[in-house]
Chain A
Amino acid sequence: MSAPTLSTGKASAPPPGHHHPTTGPDSAREEFVRALRRNITAHGFLIGAVLCFSFFSWYPMVREFLLAFQKTEDGRTTWAGWSNLSYVFNDPAFWQAWRNTLLFTVLALLLGFAVPFVVAVVLNEFRHAQGYLRLLVYLPVMLPPVASVLLFKYFYDPGYGLFNRILEFLHLPAQQWLQDPGTSMLSVVIASTWMNMGGATLIYLAALQGIPGELYEAAELDGAGLFRKIWHVTIPQTRLILSLLLLMQIIATMQVFTEPFLLTNGAGPEGSTTTVVYLIYQYAFNFNNYGGAAALGLLLLVVLAGFSAVYVRLSRSSED
């Protein structure tokens, strides 16, 4: 650290406290000592968090990149070039895992993105019991995931489960739910939506409450009906929040792991619920293939980085 850097740091943030309007080399030295002391204190406050980040965040980030191009045999680690990536690409489960993850994402967005918005629009109209209904929607978010997931597993049982009872009551054919490759992913999505929709609903509600009422009045003067008011006022006014949440949900749902892992032991019937993150888990912890896990992780990172970049851009623009 040199004196000029220290004084630049100081210029951007003048320290509070006494200021002696003296001149000459003495004051420059005093200035330097004060800046040094201020920086030592400031870095003392930072050091704990910085150490934690170094060991458990920044170092693992670097290691993820290294692992993807390394292999370990008989305790010796050597460079593996692209072999981890080509191994991953040639795994028959690879494309299936991406297809399943995309299917989960699309279904989860259809349910988990649209349903909370409709629910929020309806709830926002209510003059009664809004607090109670808001509480209900958010209740599952607070449950331990194992509790909600194992409960849904019980409901999905084709023999004694509640869901086939409801279908029977509605005169619909019974389903095999988690045991059928055709419905297993949908079952996972339904459970996941029930568990997670509360957060999005409350964020939409807050956004809806920020819409100036005059806009609706103006739209009514122009003769707009209910759906045209939604289309021309509600959606444009909440567009930023809608797009931010859409991105956030894409990023979150493409990393789905806990729900399929607990509901169908990860792979599901005929591998129908194997997701990319479950495949990473399998590589690393069932096959001890850390290189393959890191290579697949890197691919997921690249796919999600695009969404993350757009998200950061949008949220920056919302700050201004």
Chain B
Amino acid sequence: MASSTLVSRRGTRGRKARRRDTGQGRQRTLISPAQLGRPRGRAVYWIVFALVALGFTLVFLGPLYWMVTGGLKTTQEVVQSPPTAFPSSIHTENYSQAWNVMDLAQLLLNTLYYAFGALAFQLVLDVAAAYSLSRLRPVFGRAILGMMLATLMIPATVLVVPQYLTVLDVPIFERNLLNSPWAIWLPSVTNAFNIFLLKRFFDSIPGELLDAAAMDGASPLCTLRSIVLPISRPILGVVSIFAVVGVWKDFLWPMLTLPDPGKQTLNVGIYSLSNGVPQNVLIAALTIASVPTLLVFLLFQRNIMSGLTAGGLKG
């Protein structure tokens, strides 16, 4: 092995060295390194790069800049024509007003409560189900998995009406879950895609590892806790982030099932109050509502992006 790598490296040294000059050792892409190496290629590259970088910053950060500064303007300035690029005077009190008038603390707490409750339910029930389907393989396991995956074929919006009617009067238990966090938590468990991702990951764990644990007399629960879960940290991270972000971004379902203003989520609460407050206070509220998810994104961007491309297509 070692010698053959050496030989092949010696054979392609010239090309590799040149590639490193222009491409920092990365895999080659559409434009050849040689073309980029020429003065004209290099000039075109930098012009395109500068235009795209500038354009992207304007298109994607521009609106966020407008949002943050819009929240700092006076009621007159924010609806003034032509608009001002910089607030002529800074009014941070809009943010505290938004916080108080729209009761953002309550909305934020509600959303956190729903999101992390849903996360806990999904982590416990979906992980247990995926582990059972992957490793314990009960009778009818394949049929159950198939029925779970079949729900992915049904457009989510089509099910909203019958799901809502179910929440109004849960059969057998005869409970009305309207305005209760259970209306968010329990349906969040029916995430077939998460179960599929988890099962596929558990399938890839070498069987000998689990057999050895069973040989030592470990129960399935013990094996799951002490062997499977520690190995599965990356996939658990991805599933957790998507569980929290999913609840955070949802709109129609919480709007229907949590109509009580004291129990609403950030999205629904801000929407239902949006017509009653001045534009600058509303924009300040939008900024505050964006901060938590942006923080999560900046902290976990690596996990989020890898999760997106690893599992984003299969289903």
Residues of A within 8 A of B (CB): 1, 5-6, 8-9, 12-13, 15-18, 38-39, 41-43, 45-46, 48-50, 52-53, 55-61, 63-64, 67, 121-129, 132-140, 142-148, 150-152, 154-155, 157, 159-160, 162, 165, 194, 199, 202-203, 205-206, 208-209, 211, 213, 216-217, 220, 226, 229-230, 233-234, 241, 244-245, 248, 251, 254-255, 257-258, 261-262, 277, 280-281, 284-285, 290, 293-294, 297-298, 300-301, 304-305, 308-309, 312, 315, 318-319
Q: Is the CB of A144 within 8 A of B249?
A: yes
CB contacts (< 8 Å) of A61 on chain B: these are 151, 154, 159, 162
Q: Give, as a whole number of angstroms, the nearest-CB distance from B128 to chain A.
A: 4
Query: Assuming A122-B48, A226-B30, A305-B153, is B63 touching A60 (CB within 8 A)?
Result: no
Dominant secondary structure at the B interface: helix
Residue of B nearest to A50 (CB): B144
**Can you give 6 A-B contacts (C-beta < 8 A)?**
A38-B138, A43-B132, A58-B151, A61-B154, A136-B61, A213-B27
CA distance A244 to B73 in the complex (A): 45
* The residue from B137, B220, B279, B289 contacting A12, defined by CB atoms under 8 A apart: B137
CA distance A298 to B50 in the complex (A): 50
CA distance A301 to B150 in the complex (A): 13
CA distance A169 to B129 in the complex (A): 58
CB contacts (< 8 Å) of B305 on chain A: these are 134, 138, 202
Q: Is the CB of A143 within 8 A of B290?
A: yes
Interface size on B, residues (CB 8 A): 109
Contacts A52-B189, A244-B313, A284-B164 supplied; 6 other A-B pairs, CB < 8 Å? A9-B137, A9-B138, A150-B282, A203-B312, A203-B313, A217-B32
What are the nearest 4 A-B pairs in CB distance? A42-B138, A42-B136, A49-B129, A45-B132
* The residue from B148, B162, B293, B304 contacting A60, defined by CB atoms under 8 A apart: B162
* B2-52 residues at the A interface, CB under 8 angstroms: 22-24, 26-32, 45, 48-49, 52
Of B92-100, B229-237, B294-302, which stretch is located at the interface? B294-302
B222-261 vs A: 1/0 string, CB under 8 Å? 0000000000000000000000010011011000100000
Residue of A nearest to B315 (CB): A315
Q: Give, as a whole number of angstroms, the nearest-CB distance from A297 to chain B.
A: 4
* The residue from B45, B129, B165 contacting A45, defined by CB atoms under 8 A apart: B129
Q: Is the CB of A315 within 8 A of B293?
A: no
Residues of B within 8 A of A (CB): 22-24, 26-32, 45, 48-49, 52-53, 56-57, 59-61, 63-64, 66-67, 70, 78-83, 124-126, 128-129, 131-133, 136-139, 141, 144, 147-148, 151-166, 170-171, 186-187, 189-190, 195, 207, 210-211, 214-215, 219-220, 245, 248-249, 251-252, 256, 266-268, 270-271, 274, 279, 282-283, 286-287, 289-290, 293-294, 296-297, 301, 304-305, 308-309, 312-315
CB contacts (< 8 Å) of A261 on chain B: these are 251-252
Q: Is the CB of B128 within 8 A of A49?
A: yes
Q: Give, as a whole number of angstroms, the nearest-CB distance from B151 to chain A.
A: 5
CA distance A1 to B189 in the complex (A): 28
CA distance A50 to B252 in the complex (A): 24
Residue of B nearest to A311 (CB): B315
The winner among A50, A134, A137, A319 for most chain B CB atoms within 10 A is A50
Q: Is the CB of A43 within 8 A of B155?
A: no
Q: Give, as a whole number of angstroms, the nearest-CB distance from B81 to chain A.
A: 5
Query: Assuming A58-B151, A139-B294, A257-B157, is B28 touching A144 (CB within 8 A)?
Result: no
